[in-house]
Structure 1
Amino acid sequence: MTAASSISIDFGFSYVNNQVRSAYGFVQNDTWGGVGTPADLPDDLFERVTLPDKFRGVNGAQDGIIPAYYRFDFERMVDLLDSRFGICGGDGNCLASFEADRRITEKTISPFIQVNNTFDLLGRRTHLIAGVRYDQTTVNSASLTPIPVGTAWVAQGEFNVVYSTESDFLPNKGSYDNWLPAVDFDIEVLDNVKLRASYSHTITRADYNSLQGGLTLNRQFGIAGGGGLQGNPNLVPFLSKNIDVSAEWYYAPTSYVSAGYFRKNVSNFINSQEVQRSAFDLRNPANGPRFRAAQAALGGTTDTGRIRDYILRNFTQGVEVARNAAGAPILDVNGYYTGRILGLPEDGLVDFRIGTPFNSDQTATLNGFEFAIQHSFWETGFGTILNYTIVRGDAKFNNALDPNVGQFALAGLSDSANAVLFYDKNGLQSRVAYNWRDKFYAGGNPNPLYVEAYGQVDASISYEFRKGLTLFAEAINLTGEGRRGHRRNENFVTFAQPGFARYTGGVRFSF
């Protein structure tokens, strides 16, 4: 070191308290066959709407989409059905009370210290920054969830979970801590040529949906069982160990060329597993003595419509036959009895597949290169910026594997590029940019989702009339490019999103 060296120390402390709440209610009438007659609904409740013109910009929309459909005023429909048939109690209030209420309090303390050192190394100016941050987080997740008390077979292939009017607030806790070091080094090896290198640890916490506690069962299930979800407040964040190196040549005051390499080793990936289990001692009405007696009486049939009809006609325990105002049974279009068959203690347990997130022990490595150039054309005010990023990872989704088996794959990896032409002189700034991203795997397991390659043109212009007063305008997606996504094959389209140009303008004033 020489006398020109300097050292400084920064330190600090942060405290973050995040409070997140999600709540919802649900109203279901089990009237899938409808209520009333067509005469009960006025014709002007419905409106014929053309469809292809709503998808301008989507290739094939004019030929591949139904020409029109009828939509209705939902709020008016609900009010009408409630007043005539009491679907919400007849009081005009169809707002559902919260039956699930999940709350997360996430508290994080983060002290840090950083040393900044400037010195000469082999006669060249050098900077070294080294520091460490300690991150400690506690998660308190309380969930108010409805208490299931039974089941009901309400239609040929539909079973419902029956809930109590009471709910319990169930607390869950989790915590984690991390030491996060970081080192940055740069040296000007030649005049206007700088080399950089850095090493760091970074974290990304789990999403709040995964951190929420509480077991929630799907309201409907099938004859073979149902599903559900349970959060995990003990999830720890993704941990990434990063290496970055780059070289930069500043060949003119506002022009440079750079190339860099990056490598990231990521662990603590969050996967989801399904556990088959019973829950709340819920019973399956289609797996018990009544069901088997109906099958035997009907010659061993597997027709669940006939079996339901037999149980509703011949059993009284746990059976609720739907009746009209005169007390006669209500029949469906096949002449079968309608109503509910409740689960009884002698019926078999319902099998639920409960999905729960967890931190896997799998790791993945991604690496890539970044190239950039910025060039100003003499003193004209015109210039260009070009960059290209190449990304590769060692955990890719294989479309040829068994679609019933989940895979571990990195989402969001793709090459990208930008090309910008700009002007900046005498208070006038303008730019036109083309931004492109290659096709990438966006997640989904075991059914993958791929977002196809996409590029758009953006433009902006601004003029500073006087210091602090600027008029500006910008256009996003000038050419109206759309987006498209598919599953394992490009013909299995999952979304097609039309694109439209968006324009904004205004005045900025600073003082």
Structure 2
Amino acid sequence: MTNTQFKLNAICAAMLITSPVSYAAQENETTVQSDVEVIQVTGIRSALSKSASIKQDSSGVVDAISAEDIGKLPDTNLAESLQRISGVSIDRANNEGNQVSVRGFGPGFNLVTLNGRQMPNSSVLQEAGVSRSFNFREIAAESVSGVSVYKTGKANVASGGIGATININTAKPFDFDGFKAFANAKAIKDTSSEKSNVTPEISGMVSQTFADDTFGVLLALSHSERESGRERVGTSQGWVRNRANAAGVDSSAIDTTVNPTGTYWVPWTPEMERFETKRERQNAQLVLQYAPNDNITATLDYTLSRFEETSNTNKMAFWFDNPTGTTDANGTLVDIKNANDELNFWAWELYEEKENDSLGLNLAWQASDSLKLTFDAHNSTSHSNPDGDTAETIANLKNVPGSVKSISANFSGDIPSIGVDDSTLAGGAYNPANIVSDLYQRRGYEMKNTIKQYHASGQWENLKSGALSAINFGVMYTDYQIDTYLSEQFSFVDIPLDNLGLTFDEQGDFADEFSGSDQLFPFIPRYSANDFVDIVRDEGLFIEPNISTNGVEEQTLAIYVSFDLKTEFNDIPIDINVGVRYEDTDVTGYSVKPGVVAFNYRHAEELRPVFAATATPQELEGGYTRVLPNFDISADLDDGFKTRFSYSRTLARAGIGGMFPSTTINARPEGPFNASQGNPNLLPITSDNFDFSVEWYGDDGSYASVGYFKKFVENFIGAGVVQGTLNDVNGEPLRDPSVNPRPGCPDSSDTPNPACLSQASDPIVTFDIATPDNLQNREVDGWELNAQYMVPDTGFGVVANYTIVNSDESFKPYDFDQTIALAGLSDSGNLVGFYENDDYQVRLAYNWRDDFLLSLGTEPTFTEAYGQLDFSFNYTINDTLGVSFDALNLTNETTRRHGRFAEQLVSAEQYGPRFSIGLSAKW
């Protein structure tokens, strides 16, 4: 079951790795030949020592990860390596790290750069929305030489991260002396996959310099495949307040001292579903470098990634149309019943294809002994489903409505216990003869994000005496553009199912890591959503999709200057960095979408907007300027101690999805009537950051630090909701034709029955219109505790860190007017124990994250505490060859998410361990 505390057994295990082989001391660089050939000594200790040196020598608060060898980060996934840094936590998809939170600030509050350049992102799933957040599963960890996490702002570092700016560094040919190459091949076994196939992961790099080291070429390639699975039990569309027949709800147990209004919550559905996912990823990087003399270096690089993922899902569920039941003290309807209903048999296919390309040019000129000038430019794109393929295809089957005598669910445990009384159906609810078609849906984005960035910078070094040691200055122009094409189809259909191939699997050990798994549905359906849609086409019932186009363009001009000073106070060396960054941003948002002609009362559960034949463009503008200062001061004390203080002002730009001008309508007969509108004039979220730390550094890479941080955050964006009307294409308010239905309505035919359309006599609809706005300010503070210790003359080492994060306002479960809460805020900790010598490395790593608010929305979703234990082993056969073994999620941890209270289950997911064995070579 999901962890609720930092597990003591995992901590002890990580610290007790033993080996009889003595440790051979290593230095960072060793001269081994008379011709002064330099060999870079690698390994866990070397990488940790480099990371400690980066932290020690940086101005401000900077943490780092360094590759232990060419093509070898500490973990097989970049996000999973980052989570080892104090204050960094990750979100997982299919039990793999994909996005990071820093100091309690979620992915949207952090900026990810590649070699100092802002990287684009695109997505296809409507539920995921449009995000600026880089997804780390799209880049191979083998291509990364190191990562720096800037937790405080600096004038010369691109803006966009309140939590942190995370810079990923990749190798260049001039990083090496002459020829260098590596190759790595792994076989991966993911126990979560039903097919349980072994999949390959292959990577390699070759680098060479020519013409007396004046020209260099580096080529890095990787290909990986993964098959994974997921067993999920949960609810669909979350929990809803007061959605039931009040006369059928027993609310006598509600504690009115905390819930004075007697509010209760009901889910739409209980469900269990099985995912099977296939993924392929290719990464490539070509780097050319040319140095005609000692003063000029030109670098041309091209970075490519291709990502393709397909998930097939089958789900067993039912829908509570008219629920009754009993609440607990919180107000959660834990014991729910519904008479005369039906079961639902779902099939989904999710498809995502992504093409990322980046072309960059960097010119560095040592203009004089004291002045260095640099120009950097790149054009980068991320394009999801570039061929317009559908991201989500959904199909549903059902029993004839009202044919099942009763359905019920009890949510008092980890997962619900399901009850189905199908005694009224000959052969039962799972008999294909008692199952008919219901609906199909196709939806998803084609999205393209383009970033053009030009950066001219300079550094002047003082070669004479004086406190001023350097001046850094520069100007940066960024053109950020995102275009989305949202396609949506939804229709109830009546089609024959003879050729669908519907079968049922027995539940077996489904979700058996959760207590009560034997009380789920006894079967889960098997059929293809795409096969269902093919039958719809064959029957002539396929409808044309509704297409809407939205986009945002941001143009930002930034100018900065900073000063480095070195001085002494009472014989204590003092380093100071002071700088300021000025930014001016212009924003244009556009939408192209057909206007609404009327509502069509098409189905008892569907009030469908009827759109005009032609689209209407809409464009809105916004803009802002910001001044972002920073001040860092550090003092080197005696005996390896250091103290530092930093102040900086940083910003995170508003989420893209909230800036589209278009209006989206979601309505059902008799309500609810919901709508949303974008706001391109949203201001960025800004933060004044204060950091103070005391640190100690040893000569062998050991260090310890205690740091305190405080953030004053302004302009948090929330959903402002107002009630009002929305007009049709003729400027008249939309009306509800379902209140007083006319004869023949609802009519499910594809051609709307004119009698079922909105008419002047129908009541005007009052919508709850959600519009994002800058609403509130917050304060966040916390502590970061770090320790890294290399046991002398043994080969043993241990790394431990813990982060405590607090906010001045937490989520209040009975405050229904709360529109802002900081998602991702949680404590976290890591413990890593390792042993290495000349022949092998052994590492055991435990990562833990406390429960946190995942998202707010109309109803919140919380992720419960999670801890994962990983193991790795590397053996050096000779100077060229080595073997490795990795095991992730050794204890088969699970993930559980809930609504306002623990019993309001949203999702309980079970994966399984993942293993890999590899062979590597380097030259």
Q: Which TM-score applies when normalising by structure 2?
A: 0.46
Distance 1:158 1:126, change over 3 A: same
Query: Which residue is 1:364 aligned to?
Result: 778
What CA deviation, in whole Å up to 9, does each residue of 1:189-243 have, x standing for no partner? Answer: 323111111001111112211122211222x432246211111111111111111
Task: Give the superposition deviation at 1:460.
Answer: 2.6
| Inter-partner Cα distance in structure 2 for 1:26 and 1:190 | 66
| Inter-partner Cα distance in structure 1 for 2:642 and 2:746 | 81
Q: Which moved more, 1:465-474 or 1:387-396?
A: 465-474
Distance 1:113 1:159, change over 3 A: same
Task: Give the superposition deviation at 1:397.
Answer: 1.1
Distance 1:3 1:69, change over 3 A: closer
Query: Which residue is 1:257 aligned to?
Result: 704
Q: Is the contact between residue 159 and residue 221 of structure 1 (CA under 8 Å) also seen in structure 2?
A: yes
Distance 1:225 1:482, change over 3 A: closer
1:25 aligned partner, one-letter code: S
| Inter-partner Cα distance in structure 1 for 2:911 and 2:794 | 35
Query: Which residue is 2:622 aligned to?
Result: 174
| Inter-partner Cα distance in structure 1 for 2:920 and 2:769 | 53
Q: 1:343 aligns with which of 758, 761, 768?
A: 758
Q: 2:854 aligns with which of 403, 428, 442?
A: 442
Is the partner of 1:27 in helix, strand or coil? strand
1:451 aligns with 2:863: yes
| Inter-partner Cα distance in structure 2 for 1:52 and 1:441 | 33
1:414 aligns with 2:866: no
Q: 1:16 aligns with which of 465, 478, 487?
A: 478
Q: 1:374 aligns with which of 782, 788, 796?
A: 788
2:890 aligned partner, one-letter code: L
Query: Which residue is 1:328 aligned to?
Result: none
What CA deviation, in whole Å up to 9, does each residue of 1:159-178 have, x standing for no partner? Answer: 22111121112112221221
1:60 aligned partner, one-letter code: G
Task: Give the superposition deviation at 1:459.
Answer: 2.3
| Inter-partner Cα distance in structure 2 for 1:222 and 1:355 | 20
Task: Give the superposition deviation at 1:345.
Answer: 2.2
1:417 aligned partner, one-letter code: G
Count of aligned residue pairs for this structure pair: 452
2:541 aligned partner, one-letter code: I
Q: Is the contact between residue 462 and residue 470 of structure 1 (CA under 8 Å) also seen in structure 2?
A: yes
| Inter-partner Cα distance in structure 1 for 2:687 and 2:881 | 43
1:451 aligned partner, one-letter code: T
Greater RCO structure (CA 8 Å; 6+ sep): 2
| Inter-partner Cα distance in structure 2 for 1:6 and 1:427 | 48
Task: Give the superposition deviation at 1:387.
Answer: 1.2
Is the partner of 1:79 in helix, strand or coil? helix
1:221 aligns with 2:668: yes
Q: C-alpha root-mean-square deviation of aligned residues, in Å?
A: 2.8
1:87 aligns with 2:541: yes
1:353 aligns with 2:768: yes
1:139 aligns with 2:598: no
Q: 1:108 aligns with which of 556, 566, 589?
A: 556
Query: Which residue is 2:25 aligned to?
Result: none
| Inter-partner Cα distance in structure 1 for 2:611 and 2:836 | 65
Distance 1:377 1:122, change over 3 A: same
**Identity, % of aligned positions:** 31
| Inter-partner Cα distance in structure 2 for 1:470 and 1:6 | 49
| Inter-partner Cα distance in structure 1 for 2:625 and 2:879 | 48
Q: 1:192 aligns with which of 640, 661, 671?
A: 640
| Inter-partner Cα distance in structure 1 for 2:602 and 2:466 | 83
| Inter-partner Cα distance in structure 1 for 2:596 and 2:528 | 33
Task: Give the superposition deviation at 1:409.
Answer: 2.7
Distance 1:277 1:113, change over 3 A: same
Is the partner of 1:191 in helix, strand or coil? helix
Distance 1:110 1:502, change over 3 A: farther
Distance 1:351 1:48, change over 3 A: same
| Inter-partner Cα distance in structure 1 for 2:508 and 2:549 | 40
Is the partner of 1:82 in helix, strand or coil? helix
| Inter-partner Cα distance in structure 1 for 2:919 and 2:568 | 47
Distance 1:143 1:392, change over 3 A: same
Query: Which residue is 1:300 aligned to?
Result: none
1:373 aligned partner, one-letter code: A
Task: Give the superposition deviation at 1:157.
Answer: 4.9
Is the partner of 1:442 in helix, strand or coil? strand
1:379 aligned partner, one-letter code: D
What CA deviation, in whole Å up to 9, does each residue of 1:358-415 have, x standing for no partner? Answer: 001x21111111212111111222111111111111111122x25x433543222221
1:271 aligns with 2:685: no
Distance 1:278 1:508, change over 3 A: farther
| Inter-partner Cα distance in structure 1 for 2:656 and 2:576 | 37
Q: Which moved more, 1:74-83 or 1:118-127?
A: 74-83
Query: Which residue is 2:655 aligned to?
Result: 207
Q: 2:691 aligns with which of 227, 231, 244?
A: 244
Q: Is the contact between residue 153 and residue 340 of structure 1 (CA under 8 Å) also seen in structure 2?
A: no
| Inter-partner Cα distance in structure 1 for 2:781 and 2:469 | 33
Q: 1:66 aligns with which of 504, 514, 521?
A: 521
Can you give the 5+ residue segments of structure 2 that lack an aligned partner in the other structure?
Answer: 1-463
Distance 1:427 1:124, change over 3 A: farther
Q: Is the contact between residue 152 and residue 285 of structure 1 (CA under 8 Å) also seen in structure 2?
A: yes
| Inter-partner Cα distance in structure 2 for 1:356 and 1:468 | 60
Distance 1:446 1:81, change over 3 A: closer
| Inter-partner Cα distance in structure 1 for 2:565 and 2:748 | 82
| Inter-partner Cα distance in structure 2 for 1:22 and 1:50 | 41
Q: Is the contact between residue 549 and residue 591 of structure 2 (CA under 8 Å) also seen in structure 1?
A: yes
2:737 aligned partner, one-letter code: P
Q: 2:487 aligns with which of 4, 21, 25?
A: 25
Distance 1:246 1:416, change over 3 A: same
Q: 2:743 aligns with which of 309, 312, 317?
A: 312
Q: Is the contact between residue 896 and residue 909 of structure 2 (CA under 8 Å) also seen in structure 1?
A: yes
Query: Which residue is 1:496 aligned to?
Result: 908
| Inter-partner Cα distance in structure 2 for 1:364 and 1:178 | 19
Is the partner of 2:470 in helix, strand or coil? strand
| Inter-partner Cα distance in structure 1 for 2:810 and 2:903 | 21
Task: Give the superposition deviation at 1:81.
Answer: 3.1
Query: Which residue is 2:505 aligned to?
Result: 49
Query: Which residue is 1:297 aligned to?
Result: none
Task: Give the superposition deviation at 1:419.
Answer: 0.8
Larger C-alpha radius of gyration, 1 or 2?
A: 1
Distance 1:138 1:80, change over 3 A: same
| Inter-partner Cα distance in structure 2 for 1:445 and 1:371 | 33
1:352 aligned partner, one-letter code: F
Task: Give the superposition deviation at 1:496.
Answer: 0.8
Q: Is the contact between residue 368 and residue 390 of structure 1 (CA under 8 Å) also seen in structure 2?
A: yes
| Inter-partner Cα distance in structure 2 for 1:23 and 1:499 | 33
Q: Is the contact between residue 322 and residue 339 of structure 1 (CA under 8 Å) also seen in structure 2?
A: no
| Inter-partner Cα distance in structure 2 for 1:376 and 1:259 | 18
Q: Is the contact between residue 707 and residue 784 of structure 2 (CA under 8 Å) also seen in structure 1?
A: yes
Q: 1:383 aligns with which of 782, 797, 803?
A: 797
| Inter-partner Cα distance in structure 1 for 2:823 and 2:915 | 32
Is the partner of 2:541 in helix, strand or coil? coil
Q: Is the contact between residue 604 and residue 669 of structure 2 (CA under 8 Å) also seen in structure 1?
A: no
Task: Give the superposition deviation at 1:507.
Answer: 5.6
Q: 1:125 aligns with which of 550, 570, 573?
A: 573
Q: Is the contact between residue 507 and residue 522 of structure 2 (CA under 8 Å) also seen in structure 1?
A: yes
Q: Is the contact between residue 152 and residue 343 of structure 1 (CA under 8 Å) also seen in structure 2?
A: yes
Q: Is the contact between residue 701 and residue 790 of structure 2 (CA under 8 Å) also seen in structure 1?
A: yes
Query: Which residue is 1:149 aligned to?
Result: 597
Task: Give the superposition deviation at 1:470.
Answer: 6.0
